[in-house]
Amino acid sequence: MRDYPQIVVPPPGPRALDVVRRDEAWTQNCYIKEYPLVVARGQGPMVEDVDGNRFLDFMAGIAVCSTGYSHPRVVAAIKDAADRFLHICGSDFYYESMAALCERLARSAPGESKKRVFLTNSGTEATEGAIKLARYATRRTAIIAFRGAFHGRSTGAVTLTSSKARQHAGFGPLLPDVHHVPFAYRYRCQWCADKGECTRGCIDVIENDLFARHLDPHDVAAIFVEPIQGEGGYVIPPAGWLRDLRALCDRYGILLVADEVQCGVGRTGRMWACEHEGVEPDILLTAKGLGSGMPIGAIVAKESVSTWETGSHGSTYGGNPVCCAAALATLDLVEGELMANAAAMGERLMAGLRRLQERHACIGDVRGVGLMIGVEFVKDRATREPAPELLRDLVLAAFRRGLLLLGAGKSTLRLAPPLVVDQYDVDTALTMLDGLLGELD
Positions touching ligand PLP (CB under 6 A) are: 62, 122-124, 127, 150-152, 226, 230-231, 259, 261-262, 287
User: Of 164 and 401, which has the nearer Cβ to ligand PLP?
Assistant: 164
Return d(Cα 87, Cα 298) in angstroms, integer: 18
For helices 72-84 and 321-333, the axis angle rounded to 10 degrees is 150
Rounded to whole angstroms, the maximal C-alpha distance in the chain is 62
CB of 131 to ligand PLP, least distance (A): 12
CB 332 within 8 A of CB 409: no
Tell the smallest beta-carbon distance from residue 123 to ligand PLP (Å): 2
Which residues are bridge partners to 373 per DSSP? 368, 415
Q: Shortest Cβ distance from residue 124 to ligand PLP (Å)?
A: 3
Residue 380, strand partner residues: 385
Q: DSSP labels for 99-166?
A: HHHHHHHHHHSSSSS-EEEEEESSHHHHHHHHHHHHHHHH---EEEEETT----SSHHHHHH--S-GG
Residue number of the CB atom closest to ligand PLP? 123
For 304-422, strand residue ranges (E) read 363-369, 372-380, 385-386, 403-404, 406-408, 412-415
Give dist(CA 37, CA 9) in Å, integer.
12
Comparing CB distances to ligand PLP, the nearer of 54 and 367 is 367
Q: Name the residue nearer to ligand PLP (CB basis): 53 or 121.
A: 121
Q: How far apart are CA 306 and CA 282, in angstroms?
A: 10
C-beta closer to ligand PLP: residue 159 or 262: 262
User: CB of residue 244 vs ligand PLP: minimum separation in angstroms?
Assistant: 20
| Minimum separation from the CB atom of position 285 to ligand PLP (A) | 7
Give the nearest distance from C-beta 57 to ligand PLP in angstroms: 17
Cis peptide, bond prior to residue 237, ω within 30 of zero: no
Decide whether 48 or 275 has the Cβ nearer to ligand PLP: 275
Closer to ligand PLP by CB, 226 or 244: give it.
226
CB 101, min distance to ligand PLP, A: 17
Nearest distance from C-beta of residue 276 to ligand PLP, angstroms: 16
Q: What distance in Å separates the CA atoms of residue 369 and residue 350, rounded to the nearest whole number?
A: 9
* Ramachandran angles phi, psi of 219, nearest 5°: -95, 0
Compare residues 265 and 363 and give the one whose CB is closer to ligand PLP: 265
CA distance 439 to 308: 57
